Amino acid sequence: MTAALRHARDRGRWLAWIAAIAVMLWPALAAAHASLVASVPAADAVLATSPQSFTLTFNEQVTVVRLQLIDPRGRSHPVSAIDQDAATLRFAPPVPLGQGAHLLSWRVVSADGHPVGGTLTFWIGTPGNRLPAIEVPDDPVRRTAIWLTRIVAELTLLMAVGGAVFLGWIAAAPPRGARATSIVTALLGLAALVVSVGLQGLDVLDLPLARLGEAAVWRAGGSGSFGDAATLSGIALVVALAALRWRGWNARLLSLGAVVSLGTAFAVSGHAATAEPRTLASAAVWVHGVSLALWIGALLPLALAIGKRDTAPATLRRFSRTIPAAIVALLISGVALAAVELGRLDALWQSDYGRVLVAKLVLVGLLLGLALWNRVRLTPRVLAGEGAAVRTMRASIMAELMLVIAILGVVGLWRFTPPPRGVTAEAAELVHLHGERAMATVTLTPGRAGPVAIDVVLQTADEAPLPAQALTVTLANPEAGIEQLSAEAQKTPDGPWRAELTAPVSGRWTLTLGILISDFEKVNLEGPIVIR
C-alpha cells in the first residue's frame, strides 16, 4: 500500500470517528437551549395572597430580553428590577397584584445565543377560567399603513386579473390603452404585495415602521398563511401580466390560471381560513374572490371599450350576458360567508365585525343599484349609438370603481376585528398535522381560551401507530404580546398523549409538536390552530 493510500485511509478513519461522535452528541447539542426548570409561583398555582417576590430558575445562565406581568385587566407591566444569581432570576411584582388570573411572560437568550421564551399562569384568590383580555399594544401609524396597503393590493389584484379575463374572453377587440393600463395596475399590485409582507412582519413582531428593513421582519411577514396568500397573489399577477402580453387562446388560458391563483390566495388566508366548516368557508371565499375579480376587473376596460363604435355593441352584449352570473355567485357566496362568520343574527349589530358587515352591505347595495341602472337604462342607449349615453356610462363606471374602493376600505377593517364565531364557539377544536415522517390528530378541549387539555394521537405517514419516547406541545401567538407556552405530554392508558396548558387569549395560534422517536431522532410537526 502506498503512502498516499495509507494517508487517505487514516484520514477516512478520523472522519468516521468524528462523524460518529457528532451523531452521538447531536441530541445533546440540539437540546442545548435554556429551559425553565422551576418557578415560584409554579405554573397554574393558586395563591391566597399576592406574592412578595417571583423566582424563575433555568438550567443554565441566561440573559433577559423581556419580562412582563399581565394583570387581570389585560394590562402589561414590564419588569426591570431583576436580581440575577447565575441561572436564577428574582424580582418583585412591578405593581400591586389583585385578585384573579395573572400571566408571567418571559423571553431570554440562552448560552448558545438562541432566544427562548415562555408564559405561565397563576391565580390569586379563587381559581377560574376567566383570563386577562390582553391589551395588545397598537401602533396607529402601522395600522393605517397596513389598511391602505391592503386596499391598494386587493384593488390592483382584482383589476389586473379581471382585466386580463375581460380582454381575453369578453372584449370584441382590445380597446386602446386597456392593455397598458392593466399592465401598470399589475406592476403596482406586485409592489403593494411586497410592502404588505413587510408590514405584516412589523405587525407580527410588534415593531414600528422604522424597523421595516430588518430581515427578521420580512421572514415573519412571509411565514404562515399570509405568506402563502401573498405568494399566490403574486403568481396571479405575474400570470395576468403574461396573459396581457399574449394574444388568442394563450392569453385566455393564462387569464384563467391567474383567476384560479387569485381565488386560492383569498381562500388560504384571513378569517375564512380558520372558519368551520372549513370546506364550505374556503369554497365560498374562493368563489367570492373570483366573482369579484370578474366583475370589478371588467369595469375599467369596459369604459374604454364602449367608445369604439365598431366593436362596442358586441363587447357590451357579451359583458351583459356574462357578468350577471358572476354577480349572482358573488351574492350567494357572500351570504354563505356571513352565516359562517356571524354564527347568530344578533351578532350583526352586537359585534364590531357585524357592524363592518352592515356598512359593507349598504355600499354593496348602492353598487348593485348603480350596476342595475347601467344595464336597464344606459346599455340600450349605448347600443343605439347615443354619444351622451357613452359619456354617462363612463361616469357611472367611475362611480362604481369609487364604491369598490370604499367597500375594500370597509372590508379592510376586518383585519382588526375577529368574527363573532371566533368568540362564541365552545366546542373542542380538532386539527391534523402532517409531515414526511409522522402525522398527528390533535384535539383541544375545550376549544376556547383558558385551561385546555390537548390530546394527541401520533401516527406514521402510512397511518400506523407511531411509538414515541416523549412529546412536547407548544403554543405560540406572537400577536398576543406574550411568549410561547410549552408542556411535556404524558402517555395515557388508552393510547393518546395528553398535555395541559392555559391558553390566555383567543385567536390564531401556532401549534408545534416535538416528537422524540428515539435518542437520535426527533420530528417536529407544526400547524395553525384556532382558540375561540
Identify the DSSP state of 273. Answer: G
Phi then psi for 117, rounded to 5 degrees? -150, 170
Average pLDDT over residues 83-99: 89
Average pLDDT over residues 340-344: 77
Percent of the chain predicted with pLDDT > 70: 83
* Predicted pLDDT of residue 180: 94
CB atoms within 10 A of CB 437: 13
Split at pLDDT 50, 70, 90, the class of 451 is: confident
* Predicted pLDDT of residue 104: 86
CB atoms within 10 A of CB 172: 16
pLDDT in tens, 152-173: 999 999 999 999 999 999 998 8
The Cα–Cα gap between 250 and 329 comes to: 26
Residue 404 pLDDT greater than 70, yes or no: yes
Residue 433 pLDDT greater than 70, yes or no: yes
CATH topology of domain 36-124: Immunoglobulin-like (2.60.40)
* Predicted pLDDT of residue 133: 54
Residue 150 pLDDT greater than 50, yes or no: yes
Residue 22 pLDDT greater than 70, yes or no: no
CB atoms within 10 A of CB 415: 14
Question: Domain coordinates of the chain in residue numbers?
Answer: 1-30, 36-124, 140-350, 426-531
pLDDT in tens, 422-431: 444 444 567 7
| Stronger pLDDT, 30 or 407, i.e. the higher one | 407
Residue 18 pLDDT greater than 60, yes or no: no
| Stronger pLDDT, 197 or 530, i.e. the higher one | 197
Q: Which element (helix H / strand E) includes 390? A: helix 387-411
Least confident of 26-30, 38-42, 502-506: 26-30
The residue length of the chain stands at 532
Q: What is the mean pLDDT of the chain?
A: 82
Residue 27 pLDDT greater than 70, yes or no: no
Lookup result for grid cell 420580512? 218
Q: Is 214 buried (19+), middle (13-18) or exposed (0-12) by CB count in 10 A?
A: middle
Percent of the chain predicted with pLDDT > 90: 31
Choose the most confident range, by mean pLDDT, from 141-145, 342-346, 434-438: 141-145
Residue 344 pLDDT greater than 90, yes or no: no
* Predicted pLDDT of residue 359: 93
| Stronger pLDDT, 4 or 369, i.e. the higher one | 369
C-alpha distances (whole Å) from 353 to each of 27, 144, 281, 505, 529 are 48, 18, 17, 18, 21
**Max CA-CA distance within the chain?**
100
Q: Is CATH 3.40.50.300 the classification given to domain 426-531?
A: no
The Cα–Cα gap between 458 and 460 comes to: 7
Whether 67 contacts 90, CB under 8 Å: no
pLDDT in tens, 173-187: 888 889 999 999 999
| Stronger pLDDT, 494 or 236, i.e. the higher one | 236
Least confident of 8-12, 257-261, 498-502, 515-519: 8-12
The Cα–Cα gap between 479 and 511 comes to: 14
pLDDT in tens, 244-296: 998 889 999 999 999 999 999 998 876 655 566 778 888 999 999 999 999 99
Query: Is there a cis peptide before residue 493, judged by omega within 30 degrees of 0?
Result: no
* Predicted pLDDT of residue 98: 86
The Cα–Cα gap between 185 and 190 comes to: 9
Lookup result for grid cell 399574449? 246
- Do the first three CATH levels of 36-124 and 426-531 match, i.e. the same topology? yes
| Stronger pLDDT, 414 or 13, i.e. the higher one | 414
* Predicted pLDDT of residue 28: 37
Residue 30 pLDDT greater than 50, yes or no: no
The amino acid occupying position 140 is P
| Stronger pLDDT, 402 or 353, i.e. the higher one | 402
| Stronger pLDDT, 41 or 6, i.e. the higher one | 41
Q: Which element (helix H / strand E) includes 123? A: strand 115-124
